[in-house]
A and B are shown apart, each in its own frame.
Chain A
Amino acid sequence: MTNRSRREFLGALGVAPVVAGGLSMIPASVTGAPVASAADRAQEQAREAARLRYFPNLTLHTQDDKKVRFYDDLIKGKVVTINFFYAKCDDVCPIVTSNLVKVQELLGDQVGRQVFMYSFSLKPAEDTPRALKEYAKMHGVKPGWTFLTGKPEDLERLRRTLGFTTPDLRADKDVTNHIGNIRYGNEPLMLWGATPGMASPEWIAESIEWMIRPDAIRLPHRHPADRPDNSRSEHKHHEHPPGDRASHVG
Chain B
Amino acid sequence: MYRNVFGEKVSRRRYKEMLNAAKNRRELIAAGLTGRRDLLKMGLLTASGMLVAKGGLSARAQVAATPSTPQTSPGSFNVCQPGNQAASPPTRAFIEPLPIMPLARTVPASSLSPAPTIAPNTAGGEVRAASHQAPLLNSGMFPFPPPRVYQVHQHAIQVSQSPDLPIQTIWGFDDGFHATSPGPTYQANYGISQLVRNINALPPVNQNGGFGMPSVTTHLHNGHTPSESDGNPCDFYPRGNFCDQYYPNVLAGFNSDHFPTGDINESLSTLWYHDHRVDFTAQNTYKGLLGFYCLFNEFDDTGDESTGFHLPSFPQFDIPLAFADKVYDPSSGLLAFDLFNLDGILGDKFLVNGRIQPFFEVQPRRYRFRLLDTGPSRFYQFFLTDLTNMGAQNPFFVIANDGNLLPAPVRVNSVRIGVAERVDIIIDFKNFAGKTVYLENRLRQINGMGPVPPQGLVPGQVECSDAFGNLLSDTVPAGQGNLLLQFRVSGTPVTDGSADPNIDHITYYQLPDTTATPRVTRTFRFDRLNGQWSINGQFMDCNHFRFRVQQNSVENWILFNATGDWTHPIHIHLEEHQILSRNRVPPPLAVERSRKDVTQLHQNERVLLFFRFRDWLGKYPIHCHNVIHEDHAMMGLWNVEPHGDTVLVP
Residues of A within 8 A of B (CB): 13-16, 18-23, 25-27, 30, 35-36, 39-40, 42-43, 45-54, 56, 91-92, 160-170, 172, 177-181, 183, 185, 188-200, 202-203, 206-207, 210, 214-227, 229-232, 242-245, 247-249
- The answer to whether A39 and B619 touch across the interface, beta carbons within 8 angstroms, is no
Q: List 28 A-B contacts (CB under 8 A).
A: A14-B205, A16-B204, A26-B201, A36-B207, A46-B211, A47-B210, A50-B339, A53-B84, A161-B340, A163-B342, A165-B463, A168-B565, A189-B205, A189-B206, A197-B530, A199-B541, A216-B238, A218-B234, A223-B130, A223-B619, A224-B639, A226-B130, A226-B618, A231-B117, A242-B619, A243-B545, A243-B548, A243-B645
Binds A, one of B63-71, B121-129, B483-491: B121-129
Task: Tell me, yes or no, whether B240 is within 8 Å of chain A by CB.
Answer: yes
* Nearest opposing residue in chain B for A18, CB measure: B240
Size category of the B interface is 35 or more
- Give CA–CA (A93, B131) in the complex, Å: 44
Q: What sequence of 0s and 1s flags, for each residue 324-342 of chain B, a beta carbon within 8 Å of any chain A beta carbon?
A: 0000010110101011111
Main secondary structure of the interface of B (DSSP, over half): loop
Task: Tell me, yes or no, whether B461 is within 8 Å of chain A by CB.
Answer: yes
A195-B210 contact in complex given A49-B329, A217-B237, A248-B543, C-beta closer than 8 Å: no
**How many Å from the CB of A33 to the closest CB on chain B?**
12
- The answer to whether A199 and B633 touch across the interface, beta carbons within 8 angstroms, is yes
- The answer to whether B234 and A92 touch across the interface, beta carbons within 8 angstroms, is no
Residues of B within 8 A of A53 (CB): 49, 84
- Give CA–CA (A27, B332) in the complex, Å: 29
Residues of A within 8 A of B199 (CB): 25-26
- The answer to whether A190 and B208 touch across the interface, beta carbons within 8 angstroms, is yes
A167-B82 contact in complex given A46-B209, A223-B639, C-beta closer than 8 Å: yes
- The answer to whether A225 and B642 touch across the interface, beta carbons within 8 angstroms, is yes
Task: Tell me, yes or no, whether B169 is within 8 Å of chain A by CB.
Answer: yes
Among the listed B237, B279, B530, B641, which residue makes an inter-chain contact with A177, where contact means beta carbons less than 8 Å apart? B530
Among the listed A16, A178, A232, which residue makes an inter-chain contact with B238, where contact means beta carbons less than 8 Å apart? A16
- The answer to whether A217 and B127 touch across the interface, beta carbons within 8 angstroms, is yes
Main secondary structure of the interface of A (DSSP, over half): loop
- Give CA–CA (A40, B340) in the complex, Å: 23
- The answer to whether A191 and B241 touch across the interface, beta carbons within 8 angstroms, is no
Residues of B within 8 A of A248 (CB): 543
**How many Å from the CB of A32 to the closest CB on chain B?**
11
**How many Å from the CB of A62 to the closest CB on chain B?**
22
Binds A, one of B365-373, B380-388, B401-409, B532-540: B532-540
Q: What sequence of 0s and 1s flags, for each residue 455-481 of chain B, a beta carbon within 8 Å of any chain A beta carbon?
A: 000001111100000000000000000
- Give CA–CA (A236, B209) in the complex, Å: 37
**How many Å from the CB of B280 to the closest CB on chain A?**
6
Among the listed A46, A169, A198, which residue makes an inter-chain contact with B461, where contact means beta carbons less than 8 Å apart? A169
Task: Tell me, yes or no, whether B343 is within 8 Å of chain A by CB.
Answer: yes
Residues of B within 8 A of A217 (CB): 127, 237-238, 241
- The answer to whether B539 and A231 touch across the interface, beta carbons within 8 angstroms, is no
With A45-B332, A219-B122 given, name 5 new contacts (CB 8 A): A49-B210, A54-B84, A179-B530, A197-B532, A220-B234
**How many Å from the CB of B328 to the closest CB on chain A?**
11
**Interface positions of B from 169 to 183, Cβ below 8 Å from A:** 169
- The answer to whether A243 and B546 touch across the interface, beta carbons within 8 angstroms, is yes
Residues of B within 8 A of A221 (CB): 129, 234, 542-543, 545, 619
A48-B34 contact in complex given A20-B123, A226-B131, C-beta closer than 8 Å: yes
- The answer to whether B123 and A231 touch across the interface, beta carbons within 8 angstroms, is yes
Task: Tell me, yes or no, whether B617 is within 8 Å of chain A by CB.
Answer: yes
- The answer to whether A179 and B543 touch across the interface, beta carbons within 8 angstroms, is no
- The answer to whether B232 and A220 touch across the interface, beta carbons within 8 angstroms, is yes
* Nearest opposing residue in chain A for B617, CB measure: A225
